[in-house]
Structure 1
Amino acid sequence: MASQQEETLLSRCEIPIIDLAHIGTDVCPMKSVVRRIGQQLFTALSGKGLAVLVNHGIAEEKLKAVYADLDNFCALPEGCQAQYLRNPVSNHGYVRPGMEQFDATKKELRHAFNITSLTKAAMPAEEEVPEFINHAVPLAQDLTNLSRVLLQALAYAFGVPPATLLACHSGMLQSDGRNASTMRLLYYPPVPPEDEGPCCPSDAVHYTRCGAHSDYGTFTLLAQDSEGGLEVKLNGSDKWQAVGHLPGAILVQPGELLAAWTTNILPALMHRVVVPSGTYARARGRHCVAFFCLPDNDAKLPTLPLKAAPAPAPPAFTPHTHLTLHNRLLNAAHHLQKRFRETYA
């Protein structure tokens, strides 16, 4: 666990905290509250690049249940795990350590189970992980509904009707292949204690948990345990800073598609998960759940009548090479598949 003396962005009150109490549901939102939340989101994401959501209605017990299920899955024999390996077309399935690489200089220690379909056939068998589907599906539905509320809030902030963004994301987790939104369960195992090789320090195996990258989609929701390790480069900064942990909170940050869509007024922050210092912390695992909200594969994203960027002005926008398309029409499927090819071995 992170020491009490460790300074983080949250401990220094540098991450905006947005209270979602009384916001309603995705199908029956409180319009006045959603408008207020939208402006708070826009201000936070354009200024800092991320925000923390509280009173979002997703119980901590649901997260702990899927953490335990993922632990049980990771304890299965490799042969059993192999039948659930990630499908490169649907992105659904198990990603074992080494399959996905962001930092070529270090060994990344990470297990993940990507969920893009909620059908029973897509989940681990009941005799292998008994409660997996019973825990994963309700949580995925909760995160989908939360995403729909946030899409409506952002639409108000962008000056477009709330249904505009919902229409571009109508296929989230519908299991029909038209939208690549993903709930990802993550487990970072304890780090081996060796820091030096048998002959000299240069022989050492250097570990990290997740190399530096930005997310690919519209925005990401992240719930994490208290073990720490997440670091970001804030908007306009080149310094890595620890995020910290707020019990029960969910972190939200834009992805590359939203950054391109808003010409970087809402930037996609670089982030990573490092190995914590200290023998005790290195010997503990870390869990989190990430929900990657993406547009439908063939969505034509509308022109946004965005307001002028708040001071200080955002950095000069250099889009990912694949986002410079004819007439700047962004195809979510093309972008996602290219980024997957860059990431997966």
Structure 2
Amino acid sequence: MAAKQEETLLSRCEIPIIDLAHIGTDVCPMKSVVRRIGQQLFTALSTKGLAVLVNHGIADEKLKSVYGDLDNFCALPEGCQAQYLRNPVSNHGYVRPGMDQFDNTKTELRHSFNITTLNAASMPAQEEVPEFTKHAVPLAQDLTKLSRALLQALAYALGVPPGTFLDCHSGMMQGDGRNPSIMRLLYYPPVPPEDEGPCCQSDVVHYTRCGAHADYGTFTLIAQDSEGGLGVKLNGSEKWQAVGHLPGAILVQTGEFLAAWTANLLPALVHRVVVPAGSYARARSRHCVAFFCHPDNDAVLPALPIRAAPVPAPPAFTPHPHLTLHHRLLNAAHHIQKRFKETYA
């Protein structure tokens, strides 16, 4: 008898799916399609907090190649990995398990490699991971272009000129320190068996893969394998629900900046990655690529036209204490550095 499949938001058709076919490029977009996508994106993010993008033009083979490269990096000796540890100023580099933490009650099992510059000299050397740069750079460029297209779509939906958001995110992946956008490669290793099943030992180690949090920036693009574990609290709900997997799709969800900028019309979604149930699933690894789209450090964010609140109305907006708004200047650099200090040990 086949094992019962986990019920997810995708299996229940509760996450809006947005088709990006015929959108054009970020440099030469098809305006009518971008307007349609913008309205669909606004509706999805305002009511659910996330959406699924299909026909986005990023081949699944590119993601699998990067997953393999990260596996090879994580297999290197610790001394070799140490050459590439995260730079706290640029946020670029390798993050060992335990260096960043969202849930202080559990051990978070997660390796990540933050990419904030496409300079080959900042990547693992060719003799260590031969094709890391060859695979990572084109993927980062693709996700940057996709982000630029979505920024234009959101601008149309929010009633401002299409270049408004682009101007505030002009430094993405430029490597000059003026924009903190990140492509993060994530590897979640198999879970040790001692955390499996009921146990009365007081010193047992409990594991998770990523604790509950909301992302810091404008929005996040998430590409993941089929191993599962991603859970969210939908807008207005305190219930954790599994997202599920749609082959070839990319998730998009709102970050704290866009939530603040829209007075929470587009709320930031709280999410986590849990350890799956069952010994077979726990013995398998999980891979993901997350692209965190952030505004430039000195971005001056113009006022947005007032829109009617979506139905159902979002909860009252309580901004993060480090998110400051002064004369319409949203200090991205201050906010992101404070949030990094909270996250990284």
TM-score (norm 2): 0.97
Using the alignment, how far apart are the partners of 1:116 and 1:3 within structure 2? 41
Count of equivalent residues: 343
What pairs up with 1:154-303 in 2 under 5 angstroms? 154-195=154-195, 200-303=200-303
Deviations 1:171-198 (A, max 9, x none): 000011110100000000000001379x
The alpha-carbon distance between structure 1 residues 196 and 72, as it changes in their structure 2 partners (threshold 3 A), is: closer
Q: How far is the alpha carbon of 1:313 from its aligned partner?
A: 1.1
Shift of 1:89: 0.4
Q: What residue is the counterpart of 1:10 in the other structure? A: 10
Report how far residue 330 of structure 1 moved: 1.1
SS in 1 for 2:241: strand
The corresponding residue for 2:63 is 63
Shift in Å, 1:225: 0.1
Distance in structure 2 (CA, Å) of the matches to 1:207 and 1:279:
14
For 1:323, what is the secondary structure of its paired residue?
coil
Q: 1:50 is aligned with what amino acid?
A: L
**In the TM superposition, what whole-angstrom CA distance separates every residue of 1:161-216 from its partner, at most 9, and x where no partner exists?**
1011100000000011110100000000000001379x943221000000000000
- Aligned identity (percent) is 85
**Contact persistence 1:196–1:205 (CA under 8 A):** no
SS of equivalent residue, structure 2 residue 322: helix
Residue 128 of structure 1, CA deviation: 0.2
Q: Which amino acid aligns with 1:232?
A: V
Q: Quick one: distance in 1 between partners of 2:205 and 2:340?
A: 26
**Contact kept in structure 2, 1:112 and 1:186, CA below 8 Å:** yes
Q: Any unmatched runs of 5+ in structure 2?
A: none
Structure 1: runs of 5+ lacking an equivalent: none
Report the counterpart of residue 309 of structure 1 in structure 2. 309
Cα distance, 1:325 vs. partner?
3.8
Shift of residue 144, structure 1, vs aligned partner: 0.2
Secondary structure of 1:221's aligned partner: strand
CA distance, structure 1, for counterparts of residue 141 and residue 196 of structure 2: 45
Question: In 2 relative to 1, CA 80–282 (structure 1 residues): closer, same or farther, beyond 3 Å?
Answer: same
Distance 1:176 1:274, change over 3 A: same
Specify whether residues 3 and 161 from structure 1 end up closer, same or farther in structure 2 by C-alpha distance, changes over 3 A only.
farther
Alpha-carbon separation, structure 1, partners of 2:284 and 2:337: 33
Compute the displacement of 1:157 (Å). 0.2
Matched residues in 2 for 1:3 and 1:28: separation?
Answer: 48
| Change beyond 3 A, Cα 1:302–1:325 | closer
In 2, Cα distance between equivalents of 1:161 and 1:101: 39
Runs of 4+ residues over 6 Å off in structure 1: none
CA deviation digits over 1:9-38, x for unaligned, max 9? 000000000000010010010000000000
Aligned to 2:22: 22
**What letter corresponds to residue 230 of structure 1 in structure 2?**
L
1:3 deviates by 5.8
TM-score with structure 1 length normalisation?
Answer: 0.97
The residue correspondences of 1:56-205 to structure 2 (distance < 5 A) are 56-195=56-195, 200-205=200-205
1:328-343 residue pairs with structure 2 within 5 A?
Answer: 329-343=329-343
Q: Is the 8 A contact 2:9 2:241 kept in 1?
A: yes
Specify whether residues 196 and 65 from structure 1 end up closer, same or farther in structure 2 by C-alpha distance, changes over 3 A only: closer
Of residues 86-95 and 307-316 in structure 1, the stretch that sits farther from structure 2 once superposed is: 307-316
**2 CA distance for matches of 1:279 and 1:209?**
16
Q: Is the Cα contact below 8 Å between 2:195 and 2:207 reproduced in 1?
A: no
- Tell which deviates more after alignment, 244-253 or 311-320: 311-320
CA distance in 2, matches of 1:301, 1:234: 27
Task: State the distance in 2 between where 1:216 and 1:196 align.
Answer: 32
Give, in whole Å, the separation in 2 of the partners of 1:86 and 1:109: 17
User: What is the CA-CA distance between 1:322 and the residue it aligns to?
Assistant: 1.1
In structure 2, the CA distance between the partners of 1:51 and 1:299, relative to structure 1 (3 Å rule), is: same
Q: Does the 8 Å contact 1:34/1:153 carry over to 2?
A: yes
Question: 1:147: Cα distance to partner?
Answer: 0.2
